[in-house]
Structure 1
Amino acid sequence: MSKLTALFNRKKNNVLNVYCTAGYPRLNSTIEVMQALEANGADIIEIGMPYSDPLADGEVIQQSSAVALGNGMTLNILFEQLKDLRQKVSIPVILMGYMNPIMQYGLEKFCAAAAEVGVDALILPDLPMYEFETEYGAVIKKHGLDFIFLVTPETGEERIRKIDSLSTGFIYAVSSSSTTGSNKVIANQEEYFIKLQQMNLKNPVLVGFGIKDKQTFEAACKHTNGAIIGSAYINALQNTLDINGVTKDFLNKILS
């Protein structure tokens, strides 16, 4: 049983997935940030692999990627940083990124390295469903990695059901057709969340984009299994030397 499946078997509601950028705020911050997230209540950690031309990332996460790349972060360095991951972090870990750097690295090599260090799943927003189904999915599954697809308020029911059949781990429900860090009001998306809830999908659903505080977290969780926070946490980490203190304060305000 995968770590994600075990988590959702144990916890059905208010699951908190927190996004952090590898190599941010400093090159060697990655594991320190992950340990702080686990220690202070995160259920899942989503590590962003910095990329110079991201599709879905808003200004805050783009800026954190630029800093991380400037710090010298690469996939080789990330896997080196994660080599003792499972001695330090026990909760599920997801790598989120884009196909270009992965294809340059080599998909098979990438999946093997991710599995070897103990990564549980991948989110690759620019991997089309058809290519996943016909080519890349087999490689990802071979290495025991869950794969998480995204749906939006505009995704039709037939496509959602297809995505549900291909996804493992959970489905990432983008709260609005915008980029991460959007200020669109989560409460206005309730009809969309209810629709997903009523479809009785086989996968749990986590909501992302625009979740930034206790109010938006609770609104996202009302009809789904949990939510994903990214830009707000990246903002909190900016320029800090006290990663654990900042993380504790940030998560306490959401979970208390």
Structure 2
Amino acid sequence: MSRIETLFSRKKERVLNVYCTAGYPELNSTLEVILTLEASGADLIELGMPYSDPLADGPVIQASSTKALQNGMSIAVLFEQLKGLRAKTQIPLILMGYMNPVIQYGFQQFCKEAAEVGVDGLILPDLPEYEYETMYGEIIKKAGLDFIFLITPETSTERIKKLDRLSSGFLYAVSSSATTGNEKDFDQVAKYLQRLKDMQLQNPVLVGFGIKDKTTFDTACRYANGAIIGSAYIKALEQPGDIQSLTQQFLNQVL
């Protein structure tokens, strides 16, 4: 089993996936942030590869990407930083990013190097399912990486079932069709999440977009295997203080 599958076989509920931006707040913060998140209670890390045109990201994560790019972060730098990762932790790690920089790097080379440094899965929101099925999926599978598709409240039942079949690791349930970081009325998304729960999908489901504190995390966990926090954590890192204390304080307010 992959590290992600092993996690969900061991922990079937209240799984916390935390998003952080590679190279933020400083270029060399990446490993420190990952290890501190694990020590503070995160189960899974979603590491964002900064990109100048991140379509699914709200202003907070966009700003962190801009800062990371200014710091000098790139895919090559990130892989260099991650070379020592598996000597220090076995926490599952997913890279989240966009197709343009990955294709520029070389898709096959990217997957190969990601696997070599201990990455477990990929989230590429702008990779369409057709291209995944016909061109890129085999490369991802050959590298031994999980691939996570996103679904929204507007995704049809038929398409949800197909994306569930194509995904491995887990299915990313976007709480609404908006960018990350927006306020959500969780009463409004409850029916959507209940619908997903009733479908008995083959993959675990994690809820993302709008999860920011204990209340929203607890609500998401009533309907799914866990949730993903991104913008709220990036905001926490913007505050005065060191990464360790800011991270610990933030996750103490969530768990």
Q: TM-score, normalised by structure 2?
A: 0.99
Partner of 2:143: 143
Task: Give, in angstroms, the shift of residue 90 of structure 1.
Answer: 1.5
Q: How does 1:125-164 map to 2 (within 5 A)?
A: 125-164=125-164
State the alpha-carbon separation in 1 of the partners of residues 202 and 77 from structure 2.
36
State the alpha-carbon separation in 2 of the partners of residues 127 and 186 from structure 1.
28
Partner of 2:179: 179
State the alpha-carbon separation in 2 of the partners of residues 6 and 47 from structure 1.
19
Q: SS at the partner of 1:222?
A: helix
Partner of 1:167: 167
**Unpaired segments of 5 or more residues in structure 1?**
none
Matched, 1:60 2:69: no
Could you tell me whether the CA contact under 8 Å between 2:44 and 2:92 is conserved in 1? yes
> 4+ residue stretches of structure 1 with deviation over 6 A?
none
Q: How does 1:11-50 map to 2 (within 5 A)?
A: 11-50=11-50
Task: Give, in angstroms, the shift of residue 5 of structure 1.
Answer: 0.5
Could you tell me whether the CA contact under 8 Å between 2:17 and 2:229 is conserved in 1? yes
Q: SS at the partner of 1:254?
A: coil
State the alpha-carbon separation in 1 of the partners of residues 42 and 22 from structure 2.
17
> What residue identity is the alignment partner of 1:251?
L
Q: How does 1:43-122 map to 2 (within 5 A)?
A: 43-122=43-122
> What residue identity is the alignment partner of 1:211?
I
State the alpha-carbon separation in 2 of the partners of residues 188 and 245 from structure 1.
34
Q: SS at the partner of 1:203?
A: coil
State the alpha-carbon separation in 2 of the partners of residues 196 and 184 from structure 1.
18
Deviations 1:155-184 (A, max 9, x none): 000000000110000000000010000102
State the alpha-carbon separation in 2 of the partners of residues 79 and 61 from structure 1.
21
State the alpha-carbon separation in 1 of the partners of residues 185 and 77 from structure 2.
37
State the alpha-carbon separation in 2 of the partners of residues 250 and 236 from structure 1.
7
Partner of 1:9: 9
Matched, 1:248 2:248: yes
State the alpha-carbon separation in 2 of the partners of residues 59 and 230 from structure 1.
12
> What residue identity is the alignment partner of 2:165?
S
Q: SS at the partner of 1:80?
A: helix
Aligned-residue Cα RMSD (Å) equals: 0.7
Q: SS at the partner of 2:122?
A: strand
Could you tell me whether the CA contact under 8 Å between 2:239 and 2:246 is conserved in 1? no
State the alpha-carbon separation in 2 of the partners of residues 129 and 28 from structure 1.
34
Partner of 1:204: 204
> What residue identity is the alignment partner of 2:75?
L
State the alpha-carbon separation in 1 of the partners of residues 116 and 187 from structure 2.
40
State the alpha-carbon separation in 2 of the partners of residues 70 and 180 from structure 1.
22
Number of residue equivalences: 255
Could you tell me whether the CA contact under 8 Å between 1:47 and 1:94 is conserved in 2? yes
**Unpaired segments of 5 or more residues in structure 2?**
none
The percent of aligned pairs where both chains have the same amino acid is 66
> What residue identity is the alignment partner of 1:182?
N
